[in-house]
Amino acid sequence: MLGFPTPYPEELLYSTIARAGVHAGETSPKRLLDQVFANRKVIATVDLPCHVQALTEQYPEILDLDTQKLISRHTLLPVYAPFLPSERIAKLKQWMVEKSQGATHLASGIAASRVKAKSRLYVCVECLKEQKYRYGECYWQRLWQIPLVKTCPRHGPLNATNIELDGEHRHRFVPVEEAEILSPVDVVAIDNVFSLQAAQLLVVTSNGVSFNQWTSFYKEFANNFGFMNGPKIDHAKIHATVVQFWGATWHKGTGLSPSNTDTSWLKALFRKHRKSFSFAEHIVAVSALSNGALSISDVIARTSSLAENSEPKSQFYNHELCAENQMDEDQVQWNGLLKLNSPKSARQQYPALYARLYRNHHDWLLTIDGFSHSDSVAVNKRVDWEARDRLIARELRYKYEQLSKDLNAPQLSRTFLTHQLDQRATVEKNLYRLPRCSKLLGLYSENTTEYQARRLVRAYLEMKEHHQEIRRWSLLRRAGLSDERMTDSVVELLKEILIEQT
C-alpha cells in the first residue's frame, strides 16, 4: 500500500491501519485488509495485534520501524510483559509478528484473567482536540484502551464510544473520526492513581520477570512495609489495607475485589508464585500497601534486579527488626520521612539520623531507600494538600505576572505554565488534589488568540513608552505577528489600536 502512515506517538497499530484506510479513501474493510495484509481474515485487534511483520513491510527501511519498535511503542504488550516470564514474552512477540489465531490472548493471560479487556473503544476528548491541533487528524491512543483505566491523567474521565470490539466490527479498523463519542465514564478520585500507574507501564522496558523473582519481591515488600505478623505474612492487614485504599466504589466491577477465602488472589500474591498475576493486581496491591509511595515502574526495576533464586537473606529477615511495631525509634522516624521525601532530601534534612541508621541498620536502610523514589506518586494522607495548593498557587501567580510582561515568553499553555513551577511533578500528577492551582491554570493558560493579543498589547505599550512612532507594520514586527497567522479577533484588536493612534 502506497504512503502507509507512520504511527503517531502512543498510537495503537489498530489506529494507524484505520488511518491508512482514510488516507487511501478505502471504504471497504475487506479491500483494506487485502491491501495491507493480503489476507481478508485478519481480525482487527486493539491490544495485542498479529501480522506486525506485514506492517513493517509497509515502511521504507530508512524509517527503521522494525517489529520490535512497533510492538513496544504501539501495542499493549508492555502492559502485560513485565509480569510474565521471559520465555512467554518471546513466544508472544513471535505470534504478534506472524499470526496467532488468538494464542496471544491465551499466552498473555488476558483470556483467563479476572480483569477483562475493554469491550469497546474509549477516548479522551481533550487529547483528541490536541491531536487535531497538532497533527490535523485524530487517532486512538494506547492508554485509553488499557483495562480498568477510566481517566486521562491530564484531563479527567474518558468517554466511551459506540465502537464495540466484537461482532460486526471484527474485521474493521475504525478511525476515531467515524466513532460516535458517548458520555464520560463515572469515575472516583482514586481512578487517577490507577491511570498514572498504568501509564508508567507504557514506558517501562522489561524482558520479563520470573515467578521466583516476584515471589522474592513480595516477601521483601511485606517485610519492609510492615505487613508481617512475627515471621508470617499478615494477610488480614494486607486485605484491610487494600480494601480501604481503593474503596468499595472503585472495586465494584473491576473483578479485583479480594475475597476473604484462602484462594483469594491477594493472598496468592504473597505466597510462592506458580502463575502470573495481571498488571492490575500488582498495581492494586503495590499502590495500596505502600500508600501510593511506590510506583509500578520502581517495583519492576527492583524485582528484575533480584537474583533468580534469591531466598531472602535469613540474617536480614530473621534478625533485623522490620515490621512497623518492631522498628526502633530511628527506623520509625526514617520510615515516616520517606513517605514525604526522597531519601536524598531526608538525608539532607536529618544527617545525624541518617548516620545513626547507616551505622546500626545498614541493610535495612539500603533496602528501604531503594524502595523510595523522589518522583513516586504521593497519595499520602499525611500530606496537607490544602496548604500545598495555596503555596503552589502563590508561586503560579507570581510566575504568571512575570511571564505575562515578557514579550519573549512563548504561548502560556497549561504545560508551559506547569513547567515553570518548582513542584512541577507534583502538580502534573496531583492536579485533582490542587483545586486552586487547577483553577488558576485554567484562567492563565492562553489559547492562540489570547497569546497573540497579549503580544500585540505588550508591543504597543513598549513602543509607546519609548515614544516610537506606531505604524501597522512596525507594531506587527515588534509583536512578531503576521497577517497570515493572526486570528480574526486579533485583527479586530489591531484595527482598534491603530484607530486609537490617529
| Footprint on this chain of Zn ion (rule: CB under 5 A) | 124, 126-127, 152, 154-155
Cα–Cα nearest to 290, from 196, 223, 353, 212: 223
Minimum CB separation of residue 195 from Zn ion in Å reads: 10
**Which of the 8 DSSP states describes residue 317?**
I
Minimum CB separation of residue 143 from Zn ion in Å reads: 9
Q: Over 8-75, what HEC string results?
A: CCCECHHHHHHHHHHHCCCCCHHHHHHHHHCCCCCCCCCCCCCCHHHHHCCCCHHHCCCHHHHHHHHC
Minimum CB separation of residue 124 from Zn ion in Å reads: 3
Between 152 and 299, name the residue whose CB sits nearer to Zn ion. 152
Minimum CB separation of residue 10 from Zn ion in Å reads: 11
Q: Residue 256, SS3?
A: coil
Minimum CB separation of residue 141 from Zn ion in Å reads: 8
Q: What is the DSSP string of 158-215?
A: -EEEEEESSGGGTT----GGGSPEEEEPP--TTHHHHHHHHHHHTT-------HHHHH
Rounded CA gap, 422 and 377, in Å?
Answer: 16
What are 49's three cell numbers? 495485534
Between 143 and 338, name the residue whose CB sits nearer to Zn ion. 143
Q: Which residues of 26-35 are buried (b: 16+ CB within 10 A; e: fewer)?
A: beebeebbeb
Q: Residue 419, SS3?
A: helix
In angstroms, how far is the first alpha carbon of the chain from the final one? 61
Is the backbone of residue 89 left (phi > 0), alpha (psi -120 to 50) or beta?
alpha
Between 155 and 237, name the residue whose CB sits nearer to Zn ion. 155
Minimum CB separation of residue 155 from Zn ion in Å reads: 3
Q: 240: Cβ–Cβ under 8 A, 6 or more apart, which residues? A: none
Between 55 and 179, name the residue whose CB sits nearer to Zn ion. 179
Between 33 and 123, name the residue whose CB sits nearer to Zn ion. 123
Between 132 and 155, name the residue whose CB sits nearer to Zn ion. 155
Between 57 and 186, name the residue whose CB sits nearer to Zn ion. 186
Minimum CB separation of residue 11 from Zn ion in Å reads: 14
Minimum CB separation of residue 427 from Zn ion in Å reads: 16
CB 52 within 8 A of CB 96: yes
CA angle, residues 412, 416, 421, in degrees to nearest 5: 115
Q: Residue 275, SS3?
A: coil
Between 141 and 216, name the residue whose CB sits nearer to Zn ion. 141
Minimum CB separation of residue 430 from Zn ion in Å reads: 16
Between 141 and 241, name the residue whose CB sits nearer to Zn ion. 141
Q: 109: Cβ–Cβ under 8 A, 6 or more apart, which residues? A: 80, 83, 84, 275, 276, 278
Between 44 and 124, name the residue whose CB sits nearer to Zn ion. 124
Minimum CB separation of residue 7 from Zn ion in Å reads: 18
Minimum CB separation of residue 387 from Zn ion in Å reads: 28
Q: Which residues of 128-149 are buried (b: 16+ CB within 10 A; e: fewer)?
A: beebeeeeeebbbbbbbbbbbb
Rounded CA gap, 23 and 63, in Å?
Answer: 19
Between 361 and 414, name the residue whose CB sits nearer to Zn ion. 414
Rounded CA gap, 16 and 137, in Å?
Answer: 11
